[in-house]
Structure 1
């Protein structure tokens, strides 16, 4: 039986690989894709998703796209253009003439007059307990859905989020210890972490950062395959790969891990369950996940003394994933894109 996924995304390079992984998987049905401001503006994110569908051999209307939040609830004054140094001006390499070349209609591909938050509510009301929500960008759309319809918190089968950090490694600016998606909209991340009542899996930034320096793994090998998606992924990651090369860091997997955790749980090798919340009041730490390690450290007797508080929700964090297995899934997705659609 196919897994039903709804994907919320800001549509940049690692997002399009993750989306393609879902599209090309034989046991996955993508019900819809919602877009949100993040590393690019929401209109560009929508266009990138449409282009991704065409890169996968699909018509742009084959999977409904719903445009969502154009700005965070409050935010951290992030400017999407500041991410061009890593993703390119359009978030996917800045080469509009490359395969598949940009089309004017890509920017108008979203379903008219239906906001992403409203679409999320409708989709999960119709598929209660059976559809999985995969979040690859800032969580603004999901937070809005929770505020518009509190029952939404119980409707997904599970929620898989790329964002936050487990050990305080940041990737926003040198004086921030927050991860980008959570830092872009800390209030939204706080709402989702606090309000969701279904199993929540978080793939933190460290899952990209730590393996990216592993010289025994070639995270770029799939880009050399003779297949349409290899060309598209090579374009999408070109700016980031060039930016990382001088420091000896590869463009490793990030959002792809989150997608794989929803499709194939076996890809996750090590998990850690901690209670936590999103820091809203700091300057250096605003948007960082503040986690409670005492529950794992102290005996029940000591916890009973009042040091422990169980009011915050438990979050399942991915600590280690099966790199060869995910790489195999990526390669299969790329190769599958070269097959005739009838196969």
Structure 2
């Protein structure tokens, strides 16, 4: 009788453990060049567990991105999430090379940390220009939180090895950190559960009929394969595209032309968010496409996608007019140089995206009570 009871107890414990494991939230590491709505969507959501942030140079330099991430975690009161600072410079590309490229082949719409002025008048403000090692003083003061002692590439490798096949990486900036991690540890990519990255461009079309949306959509008329994250560090994008990820999802520029951050959406999110988060998002500049937010929403619910494709993808690393451009092939047409097949999200439900953003802010408010 005791043996049967012991067996029943063991089976009950096993069942409980299985149930707990099934309910465990997916682990997420966000690799990006700042702190914005994409971070808030994943951190505030009750559907995933963000276990780390890594910074990289892109829109701003890595040291400023790190400071922004630390400040963001204080705002959300998620101070236990580690922040590891990443690569300051691209693998090969430089500001001087970009200036030379523009002199030869024409002006870029957006240059991120190298941006000094818009080529023509825009509704968006001109960002302040800083050097890569300039001291960082954020508006309202810097966070009291401190960054990790690890550099981002080492942090990524350690976390993936400690949690094999459990971590989804959401990368929404240049892919320098991931390329470095893969070169340091050739098994790195194979131990990740999934990589979802915002980058590359196939054939975007203007969807929203207003001036601010056109500021970004118009560049694709003559340069449909150019996108900032890949253009900032083409060599890193190529390395990542050839790495052996178990699952690779690409969010190109294409769906972003139909999804724009508006004052109305800001107001909807602020209404349901915590007071601290509401104040933060209310100060965001509107009029930009929601590139990164699409990636975050896809991680939370892939049914956001309304049109997709499976393509082999790589990036042009030849210094010429197509430097950094997206290369893609259907099955049988790829050159076979290591490029991996990616699931490409080509269109999304913009209304569902907005609803998911509002829902995530509300979930964060509920969890804070």
CA distance in 2, matches of 1:180, 1:171: 13
Instruction: Confirm or deny that 1:2 pairs with 2:25.
Output: yes
Residue in 2 that maps onto 1:21: 41
Cα separation, partners in 2 of 1:200 and 1:254, compared to 1, 3 Å: same
CA contact (8 A) 2:204 2:217 kept: no
SS in 2 for 1:34: strand
Which of 136, 142, 154 pairs up with 1:103? 142
- Aligned pair 1:143/2:179, yes or no? yes
**Residue 63 (structure 2) aligned to one of 43, 46, 51:** 43
Higher CA-based Rg: 2
Tell me the residue number matched to 2:352: 325
For 1:89, the equivalent position in structure 2 comes to: 128
Determine the structure 2 residue equivalent to 1:246.
Answer: none
Matching residue of 1:247? none
* 1:234–1:196 distance in 2 versus 1, CA, 3 Å: farther
Out of 245, 248, 252, the position equivalent to 1:204 is 252
Q: Is the 8 A contact 2:266 2:281 kept in 1?
A: no
TM score, norm. by length of structure 2: 0.74
Unaligned runs of 5+ in 2: 1-23, 96-110, 118-123, 131-135, 206-215
Please say if residues 172 and 180 of structure 1, whose CA atoms lie closer than 8 Å, have aligned partners that are also in contact. no
Shift of 1:315: 1.6
Separation of aligned partners in 1, 2:76 and 2:172: 19
- SS at structure 2 position matched to 1:150: coil
The match for 1:80 among 113, 125, 136 is 113
User: Which secondary structure state, in structure 2, belongs to the residue aligned with residue 198 of structure 1?
Assistant: coil
Q: Which runs of 5+ in 1 are unaligned?
A: 242-249, 296-302
What pairs up with 1:109-148 in 2 under 5 angstroms?
109-112=146-149, 114-148=150-184
Residues in 2 aligned to 1:125 and 1:95: alpha-carbon distance in whole angstroms: 35
Q: Note the aligned Cα RMSD (angstroms).
A: 3.1
Aligned to 2:201, which of 142, 165, 176?
165
The 5 Å alignment of 1:182-193 reads 182-193=230-241
**Change in CA separation of 1:125 and 1:87 when aligned onto 2, cut-off 3 Å:** farther
Per-residue deviation, 1:88 = 3.7
Q: Partner residue of 2:89? A: 71
Q: 1:226 to 1:187 in 2, by over 3 A?
A: same
Matched, 1:222 2:268: yes
